[in-house]
Amino acid sequence: MRPNHNVVWSRCLEIIKDNIPQTSFKTWFEPIIPKKIENNILTIQVPSLFFYEYLEEQFIDLLGKTLKKVMGDKAKLEYNVVMDTTHVNNKPTTINVPTNNKTDLRNRPVSLPANKERPTIRNPFVIPGIKKLNVDPQLNSAYSFENFVEGACNRLAKSAGSAVADNPGKTAFNPLFIYGNSGLGKTHLGQAIGIEIKKNKPEKTVLYVNANKFETQYSEATRNNNRNDFLNFYQMIDVLIIDDIHELAGKTGTQNIFFHIFNHLHQSGKQLILTSDKAPVELTGLEDRLLSRFKWGLSAELTMPDFDTRVEILKKKIYNDGITMPDDVIFYIANNVVNNIRELEGALVSLLAHATLNKEEITFDTAKSVVDKLVKKERKEISVDYISKKVCEYYGLEMEVLQSRSRKREIVQARQIAMFFSKSLTNSSLATIGAKIGKKDHATVLHACKTINNLIETDRELKHQIKEIETQLKF
């Protein structure tokens, strides 16, 4: 009885999964489709020529050992490689590639475009006939890695971006799909990768383009009967950065041409970087064949920056602009403008403009006046519980530790600070404060308040911390 190819491949995947990182498994093995088993030869389908070559270079030993373990010593492997031609009206074809015929593959004429040797092509960014080396990457030098503030909200995407910049087209992060809400730094990060590649590898042709501009260019090319020139131009790019790829939703013709551009670049070992407001699984209006390709590499989310990251973003911006600003002003802006980085920098620009036009010094009151007009503020209820929560967040502690009997210095001090603020910012009695914070009596609360007052006079670092916590509590 002939073994079932799906069952055999499933057993192989179980072994492979235990021997390589999860990211590599998802990128290089999940897209493979088992097709048949005949004469001890397992045929698997891979999505591109580049995909096949990468498997042969990186995983051929693992594949061979796994296959022999599951099927026996006579087991062999054959690939079906899906090949997409450069002409958009042609359907994808399939070629068979035996594992022992790798060198022959490089010599056979597989789906080469008829006009590959064309000396000039139409560049939709400049003029017809422009040469490859003159392509303007369309990058903004302000969006560099040096100006990008890393935090927990973007660490994965930043790390992957750095890896891509060091070795474009040669990592598992292809495509690199960066997603998140508006104003969180997707454009900045995408362009930073392009800038870094151009700096370290000037021979690479890098191009950044917004999806809307891509759509406009394609529409013009269609009207002018220049679709082949449009296709050829994009297929020569080494690093293609498409911003807001979700904007192609519902645009069937543009999706079709991008599908062929994507396939050609990916198969050629070129790098694709895409940004979107949603993860691939949440996108609507895009063809399934595109969405499946978006999942080939790494999808990295950008989330809202936390307080510390917002402070660092403001300080970086202030430093780059060559100005100074009191810390309490920076903390106030960071604590009240929380939705995204664009609004954060916008609030800072508005404050600077207000102070310059009115020839005023930047003070806390000035900042409060400007920011309050930009941000819809909700009145915060300052209670003992709220104060305890904010103090624990500031010091990275769990709320439960304030109620514990621990005498560790950092916990005792956090407990005393919570009592100090509860006495000064609420109408609660000392007995009530003590009952809610550590189940202490009123004398302990009174002692805590005196201790913190004395430390404020003598400990500069604690005084700074108290000021930061107060800003977060009041505003």
Model confidence over 295-322: pLDDT tens digits? Answer: 888 899 998 888 888 888 888 888 887 7
Q: Which residues contact 327 (CB under 8 A, 6 or more apart)?
A: 464, 467, 468
Q: Which domains, ranges and CATH numbers included, belong to the chain?
A: 5-104 (3.30.300.180), 134-301 (3.40.50.300), 307-374 (1.10.8.60), 384-474 (1.10.1750.10)
**Could you give the 3-state DSSP secondary structure of residue 238?**
coil
The mean pLDDT value of the chain amounts to 82
Model pLDDT, residue 265: 92
Residue 110 reports pLDDT greater than 70: no
Q: Which residues contact 74 (CB under 8 A, 6 or more apart)?
A: 40
Residue matched to tokens 């508006």 = 182
Residue 101 reports pLDDT greater than 50: no
Cα separation, 280 vs 277, in Å, equals 9
Q: Which residues contact 136 (CB under 8 A, 6 or more apart)?
A: 125, 126
Residue-wise DSSP of 134-151: G------TTSSGGGPPP-
Residue 131 reports pLDDT greater than 70: no
Model pLDDT, residue 125: 53
Residues 219-255: b if buried by 16+ CB within 10 A, e if exposed:
eebeeeebbbbbbbbbbbbbbbbbbbbbbbeebeebb
Model pLDDT, residue 83: 55
Rounded to 5°, angle at Cα 255 from 222 and 214: 60
Residue 49 reports pLDDT greater than 80: no
pLDDT-wise least confident of 106-110, 162-166, 180-184, 301-305: 106-110
What does DSSP assign to residue 47?
S
Cα separation, 22 vs 294, in Å, equals 17
Segment (H or E) for 208: strand 206-210
Cα separation, 305 vs 149, in Å, equals 10
| Confidence at 162, pLDDT banded by 50, 70, 90 | very high
Q: Which residues contact 361 (CB under 8 A, 6 or more apart)?
A: 355
Please write the tens of the pLDDT for every residue from 249-294: 888 889 999 998 999 899 889 999 999 999 998 888 999 989 999 9
Residue 123 reports pLDDT greater than 80: no
Please write the tens of the pLDDT for every residue from 203-219: 899 999 999 999 999 99
| Confidence at 90, pLDDT banded by 50, 70, 90 | very low
Residue 114 reports pLDDT greater than 80: no
Model pLDDT, residue 471: 77
Please write the tens of the pLDDT for every residue from 349-367: 888 888 778 777 888 888 8
Please write the tens of the pLDDT for every residue from 254-265: 999 999 899 989
Q: Phi then psi for 161, rounded to 5 degrees?
A: -60, -40
Model pLDDT, residue 1: 64
Side chain identity, residue 264: H
Model pLDDT, residue 475: 60
> What strand order describes the sheet that includes 176-179?
206-210, 239-243, 271-276, 176-179, 298-301
> Quick one: how far is CA 21 from the chain centroid?
20
Segment (H or E) for 7: helix 5-17
Q: Which residues contact 331 (CB under 8 A, 6 or more apart)?
A: 311, 467, 468, 471, 472
Mean pLDDT, to the nearest integer, of 407-411? 88
Model pLDDT, residue 474: 65
Model pLDDT, residue 105: 32
Model pLDDT, residue 258: 93
Strands 271-276 and 93-98: unpaired
Other CB atoms within 10 A of residue 215 CB: 19
Q: Using a pLDDT cut of 70, give the percent of the chain over it.
A: 86
Mean pLDDT, to the nearest integer, of 2-26? 87
Tell which residue, 283, 327, 287, 312, has the closest CA to residue 468: 327
Model pLDDT, residue 88: 40
Cα separation, 383 vs 161, in Å, equals 43
Tell which residue, 250, 331, 240, has the closest CA to residue 283: 250
